[in-house]
Chains A and B, each alone.
Chain A
Amino acid sequence: DTGVSQDPRHKITKRGQNVTFRCDPISEHNRLYWYRQTLGQGPEFLTYFQNEAQLEKSRLLSDRFSAERPKGSFSTLEIQRTEQGDSAMYLCASSLMGDTEAFFGQGTRLTVV
């Protein structure tokens, strides 16, 4: 297993466009997390899945954001009508249920122009 994989690594989009990111977790991990990181800050929690169920969403996750994990494997994070404030690094992490050690992907760097 090569670890958590995210695609794309970089995305530049115009304000108002929709974007979708993908995360492939470590295969046996049933928990999957999305975080957002802005410059000079630590990652901030957005949402998490246990298998295919989305069990928690942060207040940071506005209604323009939606995440899915349809078969309990890969996950997608979509941002609709992007705004300049959405520019950030979007990180995906996975872990085993009951295990606090989370492993992160390389991130997707979003720039909204």
Chain B
Amino acid sequence: GQQLNQSPQSMFIQEGEDVSMNCTSSSIFNTWLWYKQDPGEGPVLLIALYKAGELTSNGRLTAQFGITRKDSFLNISASIPSDVGIYFCAGPSSNTGKLIFGQGTTLQVKP
């Protein structure tokens, strides 16, 4: 079945640094979604991408829809302590809207 692989699994960075993480799939997705999850909370939608090559920003976050439609990237600029959490990529596995999620990238920011 479809699987999404995220890398790195975890990152420990200094406040103010830029962060980059990615998500790859063996199959094509028509949409890529990036979520952030804080401990004990549900995922919060950060960015949605709908078109190959698309670059979309949300504040300090920028995400790109890969040209091959099999990958996506998320960048966070000038990280701050509240960026701590788990970042998930997700894509719809069918036209029902059912989402497949990656395993997540855990981000820790040292003040």
Which residues of A are at the interface with B, using a C-beta cutoff of 8 A? 4, 6, 31, 33, 35, 40-45, 48, 50, 55-56, 91, 93, 95, 97, 99-107, 109
Contact = CB atoms under 8 A, between A and B. Distances in A.
A100 B31 contact: yes
Given A6-B42, A102-B45, 13 more contacts: A41-B104, A42-B90, A43-B99, A44-B101, A45-B99, A91-B43, A93-B42, A93-B99, A95-B97, A100-B31, A104-B35, A107-B40, A109-B40
The 9 closest A-B pairs by CB, nearest first: A42-B101, A104-B42, A100-B31, A107-B42, A100-B92, A106-B42, A104-B43, A45-B98, A42-B88
Contact of B98 (A33, A41, A91, A97): A33
Contacts of A48: 96-98
Contacts, number: 68
Given A33-B98, A43-B99, A101 B48 contact: yes
Best-buried of B93, B99, B101 by chain A (most CB within 10 Å): B99
Given A100-B31, A100-B33, A101-B48, A43 B43 contact: yes
Given A40-B103, A102-B97, A107 B31 contact: no
Nearest to A91: B42
28 contacts: A33-B98, A33-B99, A40-B103, A40-B104, A42-B4, A42-B88, A42-B101, A42-B104, A43-B43, A43-B88, A45-B93, A48-B97, A50-B96, A55-B96, A93-B99, A95-B97, A100-B31, A100-B48, A100-B97, A100-B99, A101-B48, A102-B33, A102-B97, A104-B42, A104-B45, A105-B42, A107-B41, A109-B40
Interface residues of B, number: 24
A42 B23 CA distance: 13
A5 to B, nearest CB: 10
Contact of A56 (B44, B98, B103): B98
Best-buried of B4, B31, B88, B96 by chain A (most CB within 10 Å): B96
A43 B98 contact: no
